[in-house]
Structure 1
Amino acid sequence: MPFARLAAATTPTAHLGLGLAAVGRPGYITLGREGDLPVARSVEALRERTFELLDAAYATGVRYVDAARSYGRSEEFLGEWLRARPDARDVVVGSKWGYTYTADWRIHVEGPHEVKDHGAAAYDRQRAETAGLLGDRLDLYQVHSVTPGSPALADKELHARLAALAAEGVTVGLSVSGPDQASAIRAALAVTVDGEPLFRTVQATYNLLETSAGPALAEAHDAGLTVIVKEGVANGRLAAAPHAPAALREAAERTGYGCDAVALAAVLREPWSGVVLSGAATSAQLVSNLHAAAVDLDADTAERLKGLAEEPGEYWARRAELPWH
C-alpha cells in the first residue's frame, strides 16, 4: 500500500498531508478565505498558489497530497506540479471521484457547486479524467463523500470496477461526510469482493467539534485500513480568534503554538490517526498547521478540549450554512 511509504518516513510531518480543496477553485467555505487568496482569482493565480503550497509542503517533509475531481482544477494543478518536480517521486497522491464540479470557475452560482453521482458510469468518466491529469502518479482513489444510503456501498458492478483498479495497483478507499459518518464507515467495512475487503482507506471529518466518527475510525484502523482525517480545523472554526473556542485559545497560549496547530495535534494524538490533512490556503497557514507535529498536549489539556465536541446534527447543520466565498 502507498501509505507504507509514509509509515517508513522519518520526518516529523510524515503524518500530515496537504489537501487542495481550498486552492483548486475560486470559491470554498473556509472561514476567512476572502483574505487568504488573491483578489483576482484567475486560474493562473490559483495555479501559482497551489505550486507555492506544494513546494512549501514538500520542503517541510509533507509527503501526502489530497485532491478530487470536484476540487475545481486541483488534479490539473497537482499533475503539472508533479511533472515539473521529477524528484518528488516519493509523494503519495490521493484523489476522489463521485462529485462533478459544476461552478465553472465562479464563486457565486445558482444551485450547487458540485453534483454527486456514485454510479458506475460516473466512475468510468471520472476515472478517465483523473488518469488524463495524473497519469501513473495516482496512488489512492476514493469514493467521495459516502453516506449510509450511497449506492457505492451496494453496487456490485461498481465494486467490480473498483476491484479491477485495485488489481492494477491503485489503492481503493472512500471518504465520508455528514452526521452519520460512523454508520457509513461500518457499512464500508463489510463490503467485500471475492471475500476480500474492498476499501483499504477511509477519510473522515474529525476535529475537536465533531468527534462522532471516532469509535468507527478506531474499528477501521483495527481492521487494517489507513485513516485519513479531513477538516481538522473545522473549516476555520478552530483556526484562530474570533472563531476558536476559549478553551482552545487557552491551550494555544499554554503551548506557545497557534489554535490550528493545537487542534490538529489533538487529532494526531488519536491512536488510529494515520494522516491528518492541512487545508491551508497560504504558506503561513501551512507552516502554522505543520507545527502540530511539535505540540505536546498533556493529558489534562487533551481532556479539557474534549468538552468542545458538539452534537453531530448541530455541527453539520452549521457547516451547511457556511457561505461559499
Structure 2
Amino acid sequence: MSFTRLAAATTPTAHLGLGLAAVGRPAYLTLGREAQLPAERSVEALRARTHELLDAAYAQGVRYLDVARSYGRAEEFLAAWLREHPEADDVVVGSKWGYTYVGEWRTDAEVHEVKDHAPEAFERQLAESRAQLGDRIDLYQIHSVTPDSPALTDTALHERLARLAADGVTIGFSTSGPAQADAIRAALEVTVAGEPLFRTVQSTYNLLETSAAGALAQAHEAGLKVIVKEAMANGRLAGGQEPRDLHMVAQEAGVGPDAVALAAVLRQPWAGVVLSGAADIGSLHSNLLAAATELDGAQLASLAELVEDPEVYWRRRAELPWQ
C-alpha cells in the first residue's frame, strides 16, 4: 500500500497532512479564513498561495497531501507543484470524488458543490483527476459517505473501485454528518470477491465532535488507515473562536489553540494522519507545533468537557458561512 511510504517517514510531522480545501477555491466554510487569504482571490493568487503552503509543508516534513474534485482547482495546483518538485516523490497524494464544484470561482455562489455518488460520476471524475494528477494518485476516496449513500450498496460501483485498486490505487471513503459511526461500520462490511474494498477512512473528529471515535478505532483494528479531517472544527477551535477551556490549555502549553486541538487528535491511538487545513504560512507553522505538544491528564480532562451533541455540532457546521 502507498501508506507504507508514510509509515517509513521519520520526520516529526509525518502524521500531519495538508488539505487544500481552503486554498483550491475562492470560498469555503472556515471561520477566520478571510484574514488568512490574499485580498485578491484570483486563480493566480490562490495557485501561488497553494504552492507557498506546499513548499513550507514539505520542508517541515509533511508527507500526506489531500485534495478533491470539489476543491475548485486544488488538483491542478497540486499537480503543477509536483511537476516542479521531482524530489517530492515520497509524498502520498489522496483525492476524492463524489462532489462536483459548481461555484464558478465566485465567493457569492448560491451553490458551491453538488453531491453525486453514481458510477457515472465516479468514471467522469476519475478521468478528470487522472488528467490532472496522472499516476500520482495514491489514494482515491468516495467523498462524504453517509449511511444512506448508494455508494455503500452499489455492487457495480464496488467492482469498478476494485479494478482501480488492482491498478495500484488505494480505495478509501470519507464521512460527514451526525451518523458518521454508522457509515463507517457499514463501509467496513463492503467486500468484493470476499475481500474488504476500503483501505482508508477519512472522518471528522475534533474536541467538539467525538462521536465517530469508536467506529474509527474499529476501522483501525480492521487494518484501515484513519485520516482525520476538520480537527479544528472549521475554525471554531482556533483564531480567537476557541472555547475558554481550550484557550487556557493553550496558554499553559505555550502554543496556539490550533496546536492543542491537533495534538489532542494526534494522541488517539487510531489516528494515522491528522489534516491541517491552513490557508497561510503562519497558520501552517502554528498547526505543525502539534507534533511536539504534550498534554497532561488534567488538560485532557478539561478538553473533554468541550464535546457537543453530534446533532448540535453538525447543525452549527451547516450554519457556517462560505467566506
- TM-score band by shorter chain is over 0.9
Cα distance, 1:257 vs. partner? 0.6
Structure 1 position 72, deviation (Å): 0.1
Deviation of the 1:271 alpha carbon: 0.4
Deviation at 1:3, TM superposition (A): 1.2
1:66-115 Cα offsets, whole Å, 9 max, x none, are 000000000000000000101110010000000000001001112x2100
Q: Is the 8 A contact 2:32 2:239 kept in 1?
A: no
- Aligned counterpart for 1:280 among listed residues 278, 281, 301: 278
Amino acid at match of 1:62: V
Corresponding position: 1:232 with 2:219:
no
| Aligned position for 1:299 | 297
| Other-structure match for 2:269 | 271
Once residues 253 and 33 of structure 2 are traced to their aligned partners in structure 1, the CA distance between those partners, rounded to angstroms, is: 26
Secondary structure class of the residue paired with 2:201: strand
1:239-250 counterparts in 2 under 5 A? 239-241=238-240, 243-250=241-248
Counterpart position of 1:117 = 116
Kindly provide the CA deviation profile for residues 38-71 of structure 1, in whole angstroms up to 9, marking residues without a partner as x.
Answer: 1110000000000000000000000000000000
Pair 1:210 & 2:206 matched: no
8 A contact 2:36–2:279 mirrored in 1: yes
SS of 2:285's equivalent? helix
Structure 2 CA distance for aligned equivalents of residues 246 and 270 of structure 1? 23
Q: Distance in 1 between matches of 2:124 and 2:135?
A: 17
Return the alpha-carbon distance in structure 2 between the equivalents of residues 4 and 297 of structure 1.
28
The alpha carbon displacement at 1:223 in A equals 0.3
**Residue equivalent to 1:170:** 169
CA distance in 2, matches of 1:76, 1:240: 29
Partner of 1:147: 146
- 2: distance between equivalents of 1:109 and 1:30? 16
Find the residue that maps to 1:13 and give its secondary structure. Answer: coil
Residue aligned with 2:71, SS: coil
Residue by residue, what CA displacement relative to the aligned partner does 1:177-196 show, whole Å, maximum 9, x if unpaired? 00000000000000000000
Q: In 1, are the aligned partners of 2:237 and 2:257 still within 8 Å (CA)?
A: yes
Shift of 1:14: 0.6
CA RMSD of aligned residues (A): 0.5
Counterpart position of 1:102 = 102
Instruction: Name the CA distance, whole Å, in 2 between partners of 1:304 and 1:222.
Output: 28
Q: Give the match's secondary structure for 2:100.
A: strand
Aligned-partner Cα distance in 2 for 1:11–1:37: 28
Cα distance in 2 for partners of 1:37, 1:225 equals 34
Residue 34 of structure 2 aligns with which residue? 34
Partner of 1:65: 65
Between the two proteins, the alignment pairs up a number of residues equal to 323
Segments of structure 1 that go 5 or more residues without pairing to the other structure are: none
Which amino acid in structure 1 is aligned with residue 214 of structure 2?
A: P
Could you say what secondary structure the match of 2:86 adopts?
coil
Letter of the 2:84 counterpart: A
Structure 2 CA distance for aligned equivalents of residues 7 and 247 of structure 1: 33
The AA in structure 1 aligned to 2:272 is G
Give the counterpart letter for 1:312 in structure 2: P
Q: Distance in 1 between matches of 2:220 and 2:245?
A: 29
Amino acid at match of 2:81: W
How far apart are residue 240 of structure 1 and its match? 2.9
Number of the residue aligned with 1:18: 18
Partner letter of residue 291 of structure 2?
A
C-alpha distance after superposition, 1:191-222 (max 9, x if no partner): 00000000000000000000000000000000
TM-score normalised to structure 2 length: 0.99
Inter-partner Cα distance in structure 2 for 1:126 and 1:286: 29
Counterpart CA distance in 2 for 1:154 and 1:297 is 42
SS in 1 for 2:173: strand
Q: For 1:272, what is the secondary structure of its paired residue?
A: coil
Aligned residues with identical type, % of pairs: 69
1:129-144 correspondence to structure 2 within 5 Å = 129-144=128-143
2:43 alignment counterpart: 43
| Offset, 1:299 | 1.6
Deviation at 1:274, TM superposition (A): 0.3
| Secondary structure at 1:87 match in 2 | helix
Deviation at 1:158, TM superposition (A): 0.3
* Whole-Å separation in 2 of the counterparts to 1:18 and 1:44: 20
The answer to whether residue 259 in structure 2 is matched with residue 261 in structure 1 is yes
